[in-house]
Structure 1
Amino acid sequence: MRITQGCFSFLPDLTDDQISAQVGYCLENGWAVGIEYTDEPHPRNTYWEMWGHPMFDLRDPKGVMMELAECRKANPGMYIRINAFDDTRNVESMTLSFLVQRPEVEPAIRMVRTEVDGRAMRYSHEVMR
């Protein structure tokens, strides 16, 4: 199973040059960039671990790429994503998010649907490793 979250998730994995180009685009637009990682990629898991602090005043993608390299070294086999935040409305709203690392074997997530009283449906999920 291939987890599809964020931009570019239906494309082949991005190379470091392509990641750097996307980070450059974010920085050109004045967006703050952050790096996050997790081993639980379910779409409802919105609380990934943050790597360091968001990078607000960078002008060169090399700084983000250096942090990404350190995050990859410390978290092999985990999902890592880059997020870009736009604060033009005085609110840190996510503008762009994309995966930059996946584990070699991705878990399958199985949706379980259960009919309850009044024909209502309850949903749960199982992560199968």
Structure 2
Amino acid sequence: MSDMQDYASSLSDVKSRKFETFSYLPEMDKEQIRKQVEYIVSKGWNPAVEHTEPENAFGHYWYMWKLPMFGETNVDTVLDEAEACHKAHPNNHVRLVGYDNYAQSKGAEMVVFRGKPV
């Protein structure tokens, strides 16, 4: 039986904070992010992009980048919007969300760009 691994994360250390499921895994490369977007689109979920300052990631709502991309099926369009948000707000965390209309909740959510704490 393997030992449980402890992640050094604290509220006072912005860089150590964990966000959503994927943040406990090694950082995803562009191809792995693309696969996640393909999954979101294949499920019929509506993609959206959100961002926030690293110090506000836990206690505040995230800002929505434009409106959710209702009915968007082009993976490149979704990735381009995430990249545009990151370029406009380079110091912010940027996350990709897949809204599930049927369950009326988020079906997927992952940080795709980590901001630099000020």
Q: How many residues align?
A: 102
Query: Contact 2:100/2:106 (CA < 8 Å) preserved in 1?
Result: yes
Larger helix percent: 2
Residue 55 of structure 1 is aligned with which of 69, 80, 85? Answer: 69
Which residue does the alignment assign to 1:41?
57
Partners of 1:27 and 1:88 in 2: CA distance = 14
For residues 4-19 of structure 1, the aligned pairs below 5 Å read 4-19=18-33
Which residue does the alignment assign to 2:3?
none
Partners of 2:86 and 2:32 in 1: CA distance = 16
Does residue 64 of structure 1 match 2:78? yes
Q: Give the TM-score taking structure 2 as reference length.
A: 0.79
> Greater Rg, structure 1 or structure 2?
1
For residues 1-129 of structure 1, the aligned pairs below 5 Å read 1-39=15-53, 40-42=56-58, 44-45=59-60, 47-89=61-103, 91=104, 93-104=105-116, 106=117
**Match of 2:76, SS?**
helix
Off by >6 Å, runs of 4+ in structure 1 = none
User: What do you get for the CA RMSD once the two structures are aligned?
Assistant: 1.4
| % identical equivalent positions | 30
The Cα shift of 1:7 comes to 2.3
Unaligned runs of 5+ in 1: 107-128
Unaligned runs of 5+ in 2: 1-14
